[in-house]
Amino acid sequence: NAGVTQTPKFRVLKTGQSMTLLCAQDMNHEYMYWYRQDPGMGLRLIHYSVGEGTTAKGEVPDGYNVSRLKKQNFLLGLESAAPSQTSVYFCASQRGSKNIQYFGAGTRLSVL
């Protein structure tokens, strides 16, 4: 039972490049989230999903897209990376009727 797995762990991009971050959970959780964490800003919600095939915008969605084609996977895409997207990205999952969030190990992204 791996819990929540994020890939990759580290990535360096050039401005304008695109990439996809993958989050996979093996706990059969309904809810999945993508956060970014910047110094002094806490955890800011980018997008979230309450079930397979559904997604919604969070607090800071601009410049990101997501997809939840399978219940266990939640993908975060950057179509044209910008230096302002340099951050640590965390994925989390949560059972619908419970409220504990389980976080992945994070992806450290640098955009040059």
Partner 1 sequence: GENVEQHPSTLSVQEGDSAVIKCTYSDSASNYFPWYKQELGKRPQLIIDIRSNVGEKKDQRIAVTLNKTAKHFSLHITETQPEDSAVYFCAASRAGGSYIPTFGRGTSLIVHP
Q: Which residues bind partner 1 (CB under 8 A)?
A: 33, 40-43, 45, 48, 50, 58, 90, 97, 99-101, 103-106
Report d(CA 31, CA 53) in Å as an integer.
Answer: 11
* CB closer to partner 1, 87 vs 101: 101
Q: What is the DSSP string of the chain?
A: ---EEEE-SEEEE-TT--EEEEEEESS--SEEEEEEEETTTEEEEEEEEEETTEEEE-SS-TT-EEE-SSTTEEEEEESS--GGG-EEEEEEEE-SS----EE---EEEEE-
* CB closer to partner 1, 54 vs 80: 54
Q: Shortest gap between Cβ of 63 and partner 1 (angstroms)?
A: 20
* CB closer to partner 1, 4 vs 78: 4
Q: Shortest gap between Cβ of 24 and partner 1 (angstroms)?
A: 15
* CB closer to partner 1, 86 vs 103: 103
